[in-house]
Every structure is written in C-alpha cells, then in structure tokens.
Amino acid sequence: MRKFITIILLITISIALFGQDPLWIDANYRNQNYPAHTYFTGFAALPGDMLPNTPIEDIIQQIKAKAQTDLSEQIRLKISSVWQNETELINTNGRIYGREHSSSFSITETDAEVTGIKTETYQDPKTKHIYAFAYLNRHELTGYHKSNLTFHISQIESLLQTAQSLETHNEKGKARKQGEAARLLFVKVRNSQEMLIAIDVNISTNDLQQTKTETLYEQLTQMQARLAQAIYVYVETEERNFSKPTTILGNQLKSALAKMGCSFVDDATDADFHIEIEAATRHYTTDYGFVTCYADVQITLTDNHKKKTVFQDEFSQKGVANTQENAGRKALEDAAPNVTNRISPWIEK
C-alpha cells in the first residue's frame, strides 16, 4: 500500500513539474527575468485552430517570426529615434557625417542588423494555443556591433591609405575606386554606431569611435573632392608596326594626356572619355639609305556622360629612319602629339 501511494505521489509530482506551461508565457515572469535594461524581448500568441488548413509546423514558424519581428521592431524604433535626434543636431551645427536625410527616411532590415536572437515556442495541448518568446541579450549585441565597428573602421583606414598612395602616383582612377569602397563601408560603420546608441543611449563617444570616424570621413571627403577635378580617360588602341602588334602610339598619347592632368581607368564604364585608336604603318619610299613610312591613324572620342561620339577623324603621319621598322616606330611616336592636339579641345575642363 505504501509503495502504491509512493508511486501515485511520484506521478503527481512529475505531472506538476513537466506537464505545466513554460514560465515565460506569464508576462510578469518575462518582466522579472528578462528585464528591459538587459534584454530586448518579443512575444506572440495565436489560437491553434485559427488557421485550420495550415500545417502546425508552419503556424509555429509564423508565430516564431512574429515574436522575432516584435523584438526587432523595438530596436528599429530606437534607431529611428536616434536618427531624429541627429537630424536636429545637423540642423544646429552640422556635425553628423555621412547621412542623407529626408522626411521619408525609414529603417530597413540592413539598417538594423539584429543577430543572436533566441526563440522558444510552445503549444498548449489543451487549448491548442501557440506561443513564441524571443529574447536577445543587450550585452551580447553590444559586443557584436563594437567588434563590427572596429573591423569596418580598420578596413576604411586601409582603403584610404591605398587610395592616397595611388593618388600620389597619379593613378587617380584606381584611387577613386578605393574611395568609393571606403564610402560604402561608412554606411556599415554608421549602422553599428546607431545600433550601439539604440542599445545604450549613454554609450560614450570613445566606444563609438566617433572622433576617429569623423576624421576618416573628412579625409575621404577631401580626397574625393580632389579626385573629382581629374579627367578620367579610357584609352583603347589597336596598333601594328607592319606585322608586329605594338602600343607605341598609345603609350605616347597617355604620357601627353597625363601632362594635361588626365588620369586613366581600367574599365571604360568608369571613364569620362573613351578614346579608341586604330593605327597601322605602311612603307612609302626608300632613298639614299633612308626609309619613309606612314602611320595611318583613325580616332574616335566618346563622351561617356553625353553618351555620344563627340569627335572622329583620321590622318596619316610620316616617319623617316634607317630601317623600315624604325621608320614605322617614328611615325607612330610622332602621331601621338597629333592625336593629342585634335582631341584636347574636347576633353579639357
């Protein structure tokens, strides 16, 4: 009899311990054990028979997603508040960088990168109600975005150093690409900073690396302003000195254009102007040991901004030397200033 009573008690205790609803269903429990100063939380509930034709697994996933969205929305609202405060600061002293402001601004998924959300779900076997609880530790999220912030700032520093070196060596087209890549990273830096402020409005400027960020942004702005003054050219040549392919005219032309302040890009779509040249040499005469040759040159100049050909011409340039090959080379070299003179009125700013 005692054994029987003991078994009954054990069953009763088991039901009490394992048959009850999870504690997080209760709002008071959530508030006490997942306080707002430590956690972001989201909660959702739905009667299990509300969607009778939907598989229960799909309903659970929907409730889970709703709880996660509820959590994420709290963060987005905080970021929106941060942005509004910055807009007021900009109107006051213009100190905030790198943000295009408009009254239609809205927070997007990429603006608020929320990672590390943990979600629990439960279906009540009696009522068939389905519940979901999502929670995220603020300290973990802070650590993630501080790490992201440091990483992206380091990338920006590297890109700017490379860009400045390229600019010094007059490779302005490549420098401009490095600057554009750095500017895209500033968006990620800003998003991490906004997230950190949303998590802790009292976070220090040191933790936000604000001074370093503003200094780097100013460096980028000044560099891009300088690079915007350059003329970017893509030179495409097809040259032959009799039977041999060569780049004699193209090299001479680039040298002349560089002295005019032009910079060269490796992709025609990045250029302000696209220069296409076809050149071939031909024998003319041989007299008293000297060979005369001509380089027949065709030029096409396209303004990529206007999306049209603005100049097109052809001419022949003479070259004289002791051999046919040298005479052809001379003709191609001397054709370069002729090309420069013809196209320069169209590309000078």
- Complete DSSP assignment for 280-321: EEEEEEEETTEEEEEEEEEEEEEETTTTEEEEEEEEEEEEEE
Whole-prediction pTM value?
Answer: 0.63
- DSSP run (H or E) holding 128: none
Q: Is 261 left (phi over 0), alpha (psi -120 to 50) or beta?
A: left
pLDDT (tens place) for every residue of the chain, 349 residues total = 444 444 433 333 333 344 578 999 999 999 999 998 899 999 999 886 666 777 888 888 999 999 999 998 888 877 776 656 654 544 444 444 544 433 333 334 444 567 788 999 998 888 888 999 999 999 999 999 999 999 999 999 999 999 999 988 878 888 988 999 999 999 999 989 988 988 888 889 999 999 999 999 999 999 999 888 888 899 999 999 999 999 999 999 999 988 888 888 888 888 889 999 999 999 999 988 899 999 999 999 999 988 999 999 999 999 999 999 999 999 999 999 999 999 989 886 5
Compute the distance between CA of residue 132 and CA of residue 177 in angstroms, rounded to an integer. 47
Domain ranges of the chain: 20-137, 140-228, 231-347
Span 166-201, pLDDT tens digits: 988 878 888 988 999 999 999 999 989 988 988 888
Beta bridge partners of 297: 279, 315
Q: 140-228: which CATH architecture?
A: Orthogonal Bundle (1.10)
CB proximity list for 207: less than 8 A, separation 6 or greater:
146, 196
Nearest to 342 by CA among 281, 263, 277: 277
Burial of 197 (0-12, 13-18, 19+ CB in 10 A): buried
Q: Per CATH, is 231-347 categorized as 3.90.260.10?
A: no
Compute the distance between CA of residue 348 and CA of residue 199 in angstroms, rounded to an integer. 52
The predicted pLDDT at position 10 comes to 39
Compute the distance between CA of residue 170 and CA of residue 231 in angstroms, rounded to an integer. 12
Domain 20-137 sits in CATH at 3.10.28.20
Sign of the dihedral through C-alpha 43, 48, 51, 53: positive
- DSSP run (H or E) holding 137: strand 130-137
Cα–Cα distances in angstroms (integers) from residue 57 to residues 70, 278, 304, 318, in the given order:
20, 67, 55, 82
Nearest to 153 by CA among 79, 108, 215: 215
